[in-house]
Homo-oligomer: A and B are copies of this chain.
Amino acid sequence: MATLAVPETIPSASEDAEQIWKACKGWGTDETAIITILAHRDATQRKIIRLAFEEQYKENLIMRLESELSGDLERAVYLWIFDPVEREAIIANIAVKKNIDYQAIIEIACVNSPKELLVVKEEYHDRYKRSLEEDIAVHTVGDFRQACTSEFTYRYDGDETDTAVVRLEAKTFHDAIKSQTFNHNEVIRILSTRSKAQLCATFNYYKDEYGIPITKALTSESPNEFALALRMAIRCIVSPQKYFAKVLQNAVGKAGTDEDALTRVIVMRAEKDLKVIKEMFHKRTNATLKHAVGTETCGHYNSFLLALVGN
């Protein structure tokens, strides 16, 4: 389901490193050469190229690329070159430092499986010498703090569901939405501690029982920021692909393109499920993602994203 296209035969990491070094040497940078290599290597291959570059040229490849590239291309290549776990730890840290980008935080907390999330948290510890929850808690207050830090709970990952709990908790959501008390402690408790399978069963029951999807019910009246965040978390839990297709639609649909969101989704999902997200994007918008990226971006940044989006 990935869109990343790695050629059947590729040069050795040492040769790739040499080509990148040549592309960086002297005045100017050969962005095309860099993109042709890096946008067509998987996470393991990129890691080996980084090591080979460091070994051969006694220089950190990431820092070299940061000095050679600029703007949206620099940011995109910077995120891409890491493996998925390193990348999500970095994205989380950027989100925290932005004081605070809730969307990126909620995506990481709610899209990953409990085991995946745990590895991201460990990477965060190693990299920043603090815990991710610690940094989020410092940069948030009140309901948002409680909701955001709670979402990093180590959920149960099994498929079992408890029907009695489903009924009870669907009603809890319904009562909270009816009285517009989204920050209700019980809402946060359920959303942050129940397993994804249990939550999906609850949301399905909600739709059957109350005749409206919970994500619509949450925002049927003029929604506040907190209700929107809850809806986002639910979407990430229920169907990450559908959620990311919507993020891409928003990113290219605005008057000005949201390059940060466009980069984040394409880079994060190219090695995972971007193929499915592309199909959903197509269904939603009647346009291909390739076409949308083609019209909304330009230059080497455009080439890089298109290489990741694939054909």
Question: Residues on A close to B: CB < 8 A?
Answer: 118, 121, 125, 129-131, 133-134, 137-138, 141-142, 145-146, 149-150, 152-158, 160, 185, 189, 192-195
Instruction: Contact check, B133 vs A154: say whether CB atoms are below 8 A apart.
Output: yes
Instruction: Contact check, B194 vs A157: say whether CB atoms are below 8 A apart.
Output: no
Instruction: Contact check, B142 vs A155: say whether CB atoms are below 8 A apart.
Output: no
Known: A146-B146, A189-B145. A195 touches B153 (CB 8 A): no
Least CB distance from A51 to B in Å reads: 25
Contact of A149 among B129, B137, B153, B195 (CB under 8 A): B153
Instruction: Contact check, A129 vs B189: say whether CB atoms are below 8 A apart.
Output: no
Query: For the complex, what is the distance from the CA of A149 to the CA of B133, rounded to whole Å?
Result: 13
Stoichiometry, as copies per complex, reads 2
Known: A129-B160, A160-B129. A155 touches B141 (CB 8 A): no
Q: Which 5 A-B pairs have the closest CB atoms?
A: A134-B193, A131-B156, A137-B189, A133-B153, A137-B193
Query: For the complex, what is the distance from the CA of A193 to the CA of B131, rounded to whole Å?
Result: 7
Instruction: Contact check, B129 vs A156: say whether CB atoms are below 8 A apart.
Output: yes
Can you sample 27 A-B contacts with CB below 8 Å? Answer: A118-B118, A121-B154, A125-B154, A125-B157, A125-B158, A129-B156, A129-B158, A129-B160, A130-B156, A131-B153, A131-B156, A131-B193, A133-B154, A133-B193, A134-B153, A134-B155, A134-B156, A134-B195, A137-B192, A137-B193, A138-B189, A141-B185, A145-B185, A149-B150, A149-B153, A152-B154, A154-B154
Instruction: Contact check, B129 vs A155: say whether CB atoms are below 8 A apart.
Output: no
